[in-house]
Amino acid sequence: MRVSSQGVTSVALLADPDAPTEITQRMAPTLPDRLARRSGPGRRFDVEVVSEPFTAGTEDLATLMRRIMDRASRGRWDIVVALTDLPLHSQGRKLVMDLSHEHGLGLLSLPTLGGFRLQSKARRAVEEAVLVLAGPQATEPKGSAGRQPPQGAFAGRLAPVRPGKVDKEEIADLRYVVAGPRGYLRVLLGMVRANRPWRLVPGLSKALAAALATGAVATVNSTIWNLAAFLSTPRLVIAMIGSVVLMTGWLIVDANLWHRTDEVSPEARKRAALYNTSTVLTVGIGVLACYAGLMVINLVWALFILNDRVFATMTRTPLHGSEYWTLAWFVASVATVGGALGSGLESDEAIRAAAYSKREQERRSMLQDDRGD
């Protein structure tokens, strides 16, 4: 076990800014006690959080591990576990974690932990990594895909995570990856979770202003009343889906969010498809959240402004609760289309900032700069 001269194993959690830093800061206060309980009596740990953009400008695993090793040498820690919200790849598979017993290093890619219970999964992964690195070094040859970690259960408890192949020249001597349909879905959900699509709602102020204005005008429009009063539920659903798809597509095209690759390899194309699918889901979820908010606002506005006699005169339908609900639903679709037009007033930078995590923004900016060069 790696132990400092004072009898305490010092652990650094090196985290990319934004979500990884928030996750490590939440787990850090309880991590020393949890590690001490699991490692046995008489063992103590000291945990420090270091927030630095160690992934800036690269997704190459070898480069990242060298950066982590250089940072560890300056900090005098026994173990360094780095966390990023970038999806990392190794030989066509999605990387979960790289470990180096010799240098006491770990690299964790958060998207491979999925989109649910991320905090508890990340804490468990960090615990396993620290305990594996603090234990005796394995004697199996580097790159043995079938070997198990010294204290077991890392791959099993985080299924479908499994050991992966490591080349002899790499710094890491133990690797975990995800593969297959379950692994793809897990990473996809993790990427959407890292982008935090709910931030799209406050991030598109001009589009929301246009949507609210459209909804306010539509609510008092007698033509809209007549349409809403006689629209069937299937047509209302079609209007909702159409408006959400329209705004999602408009945001992606207008802000140039679609990921393009000049590489022709199947791996590069799969990676581009993964990024684009996460973009569609991120923006789509954000637009759905906007749609739900518009429905609520339009319903409140209709309850406040509509007169039942005027409504019945224009539509020949009494104004009951179902009519309020139907009108708010239809107006939300109309307002969403207005919001799509209003989103053209937003800058591309504002839309990217609302749709992507900080690491993903930097990655896409770097790709655009490379194409410009």
DSSP 61-79: HHHHHHHHHHHHHHHT-SE
4 three-class SS: coil
Of 239, 339, 195, residue with least CA distance to 187: 195
Of 90, 74, 82, 54, residue with least CA distance to 165: 90
Name the token pair of 52: 């630095």
Contacts of 294 by beta carbon, 8 Å cutoff, 6+ apart: 211, 212, 215, 331, 332, 335, 336, 339
User: E strands within the chain?
Assistant: 8-15, 44-51, 79-84, 89-90, 93-100, 105-109, 162-164, 174-178
Q: What is the pLDDT of residue 302?
A: 86
Q: What is the pLDDT of residue 140?
A: 47
The backbone region for 143, taken as left when phi is positive above 0, alpha when psi lies in -120 to 50, beta otherwise, is left
183 three-class SS: helix
CA distance 251 to 346: 10
The residue length of the chain stands at 373
Q: How many helices (H) and strands (E) does the chain have?
A: 15, 8
Q: Alpha-carbon Rg of the chain, whole angstroms? A: 26
Name the token pair of 260: 């393009």
Per the CB < 8 A criterion, the answer to whether 162 and 179 are in contact is yes
pLDDT in single tens digits along all 373 residues of the chain: 455 545 788 999 999 888 889 999 999 999 998 988 888 777 888 999 999 888 887 778 888 999 999 998 888 899 999 999 888 888 778 888 899 988 899 999 998 888 788 888 899 899 989 988 887 654 444 444 433 444 344 555 555 777 777 877 788 888 888 877 888 888 888 888 877 787 777 777 777 888 888 888 888 888 888 888 888 899 999 999 999 999 888 888 877 788 776 666 677 777 778 888 888 998 898 889 889 999 999 899 888 888 778 877 777 777 787 888 888 999 999 999 888 777 665 556 666 666 665 556 555 565 555 445 4
CA distance 119 to 29: 13
Residues 292-297: contacts with CB under 8 Å, at least 24 apart: 293/201, 294/211, 294/212, 294/215, 294/331, 294/332, 294/335, 294/336, 294/339, 295/328, 295/329, 295/332, 296/328, 297/212, 297/215
Torsion sign across C-alpha atoms 96, 100, 106, 107: negative
Of 252, 190, 91, residue with least CA distance to 260: 252
Angle at 248 between CA 209 and CA 273, to 5 degrees: 150
